[in-house]
Homo-oligomer: A and B are copies of this chain.
Amino acid sequence: MSKYKIGLFGFGCVGQGLYKTLAENSLDAEIVKVCVKNKNKQRSIDNDRITYNPSDILNDDQINIVVELIDDPQAALDIVRKALKSRKAVVTANKKMVAENLDELIALQKEYETPLLYEGAVCGSIPIIRNLEDYYASEHISEIKGIFNGSSNYILTKLFQEGKSYEEALGEAQANGFAESDPTLDVGGFDPKFKLSIILQHAFGLRLHPDNIFNWGIQNITDSDIAFARERNLKIKLLAKAYYNGDSLSAVVAPHFIDSQNPLYHVENEFNCVLINGKFASNQTLIGKGAGSLPTGLAVLSDVVALTQGYAYRYRSSDHKVDTSELVEVYLSAKDIDAINWTAFDTISEKYVGNDYGYVIGKVALSELSSLLSNGSPDTNLVFTSGSQKEVEIPSLTYSYAS
């Protein structure tokens, strides 16, 4: 008999992979019950291990590890709460649930002295949380950034490498299982924002609710934006960034122009990349598949193994402040560029007005971006050209004129 009895919620790709792997493995852990929703689906497990009632797992005293792999963040939170209160260790891969409720989840872990692990929630197969907790525990990290969303990166790769339209590329990503049928979380920059919020806690000891992080996605990208980048030998990549700006921390999710000298330029398709800049290590780059059943499955399995070894996150705390007054340089494009609220800009360095496309490049406070975009025309697109952390210098344009 195994020492570790696992109750599993959800039996999708990742859940099935975990079940199979644990059955074949020599680990001292086995899945004894699986809670699913749909009674009419055929399952590849013995009927006596299946239940439709969460209490059959949550009230079962022999179960000491709960693995939560369902889609619904609210139901997931409910399960994780009850499991921790019953002192069952928990593994989850639900980034939205973790990011939005991390304060409560940390408090519950402390109160009930029961660990919650969620490596699978952040950048698939890249072991970022564990490394931040352990290996980089004594590092002075100055910046973490990267490509945290495989779906958007896949779409951007198709746009730039194969000249596909945004709709074509999105459809292809959906057909390949890299994007959900409602792609808003991915292409709108919400998914990488959840991940960034979790990373902020483990890298800097800073708790920042995702609602308080500015995010913009790739949903409004046009052929003109891509042409603008191509003419300058740039690509556009959706980046999540957290970095020191003086004594404060800045955090943002937005598309960025990237040149070929940047390691992120070469990260394509569904791959994710995390760049860490630290006092000792200098630049570190971690690249791996950011999503999918096997990469996420590896992260979940690794968390299960860690729980059997008594592992728990330490949650160092800090008194970091967040700064949103920082000026960032952005490229803003729209069909009718003159509809933009000019007063939001601190300075404008370039403006181009065409028949069906125009853009401005200028500096604006991070805190002004949300209202600037919500008051602009609905086709407005935004790409960062540089922040305090410069990614690329836009070469000045011969056809620009002073604003």
State which residues 147-192 of A face B: CB under 8 Å: none
Range of interface residues on chain A?
Answer: 35 or more
Most buried by B among A25, A298, A306: A298
Distance, CA A127 to CA B134, complexed state (A):
10
Contacts of A289 in B (CB 8 A): 281-283
Distance, CA A278 to CA B283, complexed state (A):
25
Q: Once the chains bind, are B138 and A282 in contact (CB under 8 Å)?
A: no
Distance, CA A266 to CA B282, complexed state (A):
17
Q: Once the chains bind, are B263 and A138 in contact (CB under 8 Å)?
A: no
Q: Binding site of A, secondary structure by majority: helix, strand, loop or mixed?
A: mixed
Q: Once the chains bind, are B305 and A281 in contact (CB under 8 Å)?
A: no
Q: Once the chains bind, are A288 and B279 in contact (CB under 8 Å)?
A: no
Q: Once the chains bind, are A285 and B282 in contact (CB under 8 Å)?
A: no
Q: A219 an interface residue at 8 Å Cβ cutoff?
A: no
Distance, CA A305 to CA B139, complexed state (A):
11
Most buried by B among A119, A125, A137, A294: A125
4 pairs of A and B residues whose beta carbons are closest in the complex: A280-B298, A285-B287, A125-B281, A127-B135
Q: Once the chains bind, are B263 and A280 in contact (CB under 8 Å)?
A: no
Q: A142 an interface residue at 8 Å Cβ cutoff?
A: no
Most buried by B among A119, A134, A279: A134
Contacts of A27 in B (CB 8 A): 138
Q: Once the chains bind, are B134 and A302 in contact (CB under 8 Å)?
A: yes
With A21-B138, A134-B130 known to touch, is A288 a contact of B294 (CB < 8 Å)?
A: no
With A125-B280, A305-B137 known to touch, is A288 a contact of B285 (CB < 8 Å)?
A: yes
Q: Once the chains bind, are A135 and B130 in contact (CB under 8 Å)?
A: yes
Q: A286 an interface residue at 8 Å Cβ cutoff?
A: yes
Contacts of A295 in B (CB 8 A): 280-282
Contacts of A279 in B (CB 8 A): 294
Q: A146 an interface residue at 8 Å Cβ cutoff?
A: no
Distance, CA A289 to CA B306, complexed state (A):
28
Distance, CA A131 to CA B132, complexed state (A):
12
Distance, CA A25 to CA B140, complexed state (A):
11
Q: Once the chains bind, are B297 and A280 in contact (CB under 8 Å)?
A: yes
Q: A343 an interface residue at 8 Å Cβ cutoff?
A: no
Nearest to A280 among chain B residues (CB) is: B298
Q: Once the chains bind, are B298 and A288 in contact (CB under 8 Å)?
A: no
- Of B126, B135, B302, B305, which contacts A284 at CB under 8 A? B126
Q: Once the chains bind, are B288 and A284 in contact (CB under 8 Å)?
A: yes
Contacts of A138 in B (CB 8 A): 21, 25, 27, 298, 301-302, 305
With A25-B138, A130-B135 known to touch, is A282 a contact of B278 (CB < 8 Å)?
A: no
Q: Smallest CB–CB gap between A154 and chain B, Å?
A: 14
Contacts of A139 in B (CB 8 A): 298
Distance, CA A92 to CA B21, complexed state (A):
35
State which residues 260-297 of A face B: CB under 8 Å: 263, 266, 278-289, 294-295, 297
Q: Smallest CB–CB gap between A319 and chain B, Å?
A: 14
Distance, CA A335 to CA B31, complexed state (A):
65
A-B contact pairs, 25 of them (CB 8 A): A25-B138, A119-B135, A125-B282, A125-B284, A127-B135, A130-B134, A134-B134, A134-B302, A134-B306, A135-B302, A137-B302, A138-B302, A138-B305, A263-B266, A263-B287, A266-B266, A280-B294, A280-B295, A281-B295, A282-B288, A282-B294, A284-B287, A285-B286, A285-B288, A287-B287
Q: Smallest CB–CB gap between A156 and chain B, Å?
A: 19
